[in-house]
Structure 1
């Protein structure tokens, strides 16, 4: 073959083709650690299936989202692109719900981000979650409800009334009535259930947890500083001493459920270009790189709540739970769900 007066042999053509193919995949086949699309290409549906039943929930490393249903309101308010159903399919298992008790009626409580209503009733959120758990009974969903704006003190009572009205009592942990719950439940206690996290005086129902977040840390002046802060929390407060899964050797500190947010915004401090989306795009890519480096030597535990997470970042978080898997003869769901795109 001749080109511009030069003769190219088949081996040279083959090498050129391989170089072009490598370039193509480098540009277009990159992993998705950040996502701003409504659709989902790769699912992590049943990743909890083969988790050891005797492992405490706090020992898992759980992918979550911050302001989980903030889908509307423009660049300043939008924190996610996937709706609730899609996030569940992507493998997200922690949801940060901001609830406005706007008419002080259980059936009218609505999701919001500040003053920006998100067009999703809390009753609809519970219905979607129960529908998912009915289909995938091995899974567990964790939620934290934060009352917003007015009638905040009535949100807890209205929520519990709503769950009873919907006849969802059996899907709730801690139980609405009856036996005393464990403050650090095991997987066998919470499969197929919605686990509430107790938000001190704001929503005094659920299991206790510890947050690494300090007041004002959501305000981001410098993205690199924000990332280093998040990485510091992961390295110091979400890291197990070694790769042992011996439940008898867990300390009380190990049993605490830790919650870390990687999200942030520059709007409150006059940086309108530092939107939640812009910050997430930078931080998610750095998170993926550093988590991949930690994955060979470290066991992480707790909840990592993110803005705009991509399926590959969620998968990295999920894969930290491989030491907690138990092989069950005749079942393949747990292993299958750890491979993207299979359900």
Structure 2
């Protein structure tokens, strides 16, 4: 039986609309709409714990150099901030606190990144930005004390272990950490060791789904700040260069958008804590941001 022309046109329109969603972007500049709301946190209630909202973040946030095996993002730190990203994953090395991805120098430092974030927050005072530092070789053992010396007494950086309410940290940086640091909020990562290695996209999707379910359970109580990754690579596996960060994100990001779209329709809406992504597009970032509206 032939499909009526009217129904076919509607289906084509829906498919066209779906294809227009910008869920992946590896251009150098984000395509911000004219009415884009940079300061999206202004609508959050001051009493809300930061562990009970869904926050768009990036994995290897400043891995902009080194070619397809090493690059996880395309936008500068400033552009990511303007696009709505509020969690940053900085891999820091050596006494000069250089930001690296593996052995590849990313042409900036931790102090430079702090300065950029501070400049942003001086303009958008309703926002808060979460920063994690992960020490990497060489001289990774020196990084924690050097970083702590720079942030310990800063009035605009939250370094307490307790989870703050939004009203306490507007216009401030919130330092989040794992076992390397004595300062900051403890992160609860849903990913297990080796989950970043990808040999099958469907398997990766199932892992992300499971991790987001774990994050939703943590987020419901607000007792811990959860972190889940949608990123990954096939480097170090038998698939070699089949799924480098860019190529994987092209497949994962549309799936993640659709998955979040389904979750968004639930009542009440869940929260997922931090979702760290590679090469997110504006519409994917906005889909994550919308989850802070829990009514």
Shift of 1:213: 1.4
8 A Cα contact 1:44 1:315, kept in partner: no
Question: Structure 1 residues 323, 161: closer, same or farther in 2, change over 3 A?
Answer: same
Bigger Rg over Cα: 1
Match of 1:199 among 178, 184, 187: 178
Residue 152 (structure 1) aligned with residue 140 (structure 2): yes
Residue 35 (structure 1) aligned with residue 35 (structure 2): no
Shift of 1:29: 6.2
User: Which residue is 2:292 aligned to?
Assistant: 321
Deviates more, 1:188-197 or 1:126-135: 188-197
When the two structures are superposed, what TM-score results if normalisation uses the length of structure 2?
0.89
Q: What SS does the aligned partner of 1:192 have?
A: coil
1:51-72 residue CA offsets vs partner (Å, 9 max, x unmatched): 0000100001000000000001
CA distance in 2, matches of 1:279, 1:155: 31
Shift of 1:44: 4.2
RMSD, aligned CA: 2.4
1:235-259 residue CA offsets vs partner (Å, 9 max, x unmatched): 2332589xxxxxxxx74xx321110
Question: Structure 1 residues 182, 158: closer, same or farther in 2, change over 3 A?
Answer: closer
CA distance in 1, matches of 2:149, 2:161: 22
Residue 264 (structure 1) aligned with residue 232 (structure 2): yes
Shift of 1:323: 2.6
Q: What SS does the aligned partner of 1:293 have?
A: helix
The equivalences for 1:1-343 within 5 A come to 26=16, 30-42=20-32, 43-101=36-94, 104=95, 108-163=96-151, 169-174=154-159, 181=160, 183-200=162-179, 202-239=180-217, 251=221, 254-270=222-238, 271-297=240-266, 298-323=269-294
Shift of 1:182: 5.6
8 A Cα contact 1:63 1:94, kept in partner: yes
1:32-62 residue CA offsets vs partner (Å, 9 max, x unmatched): 0111111111244100012000010000100
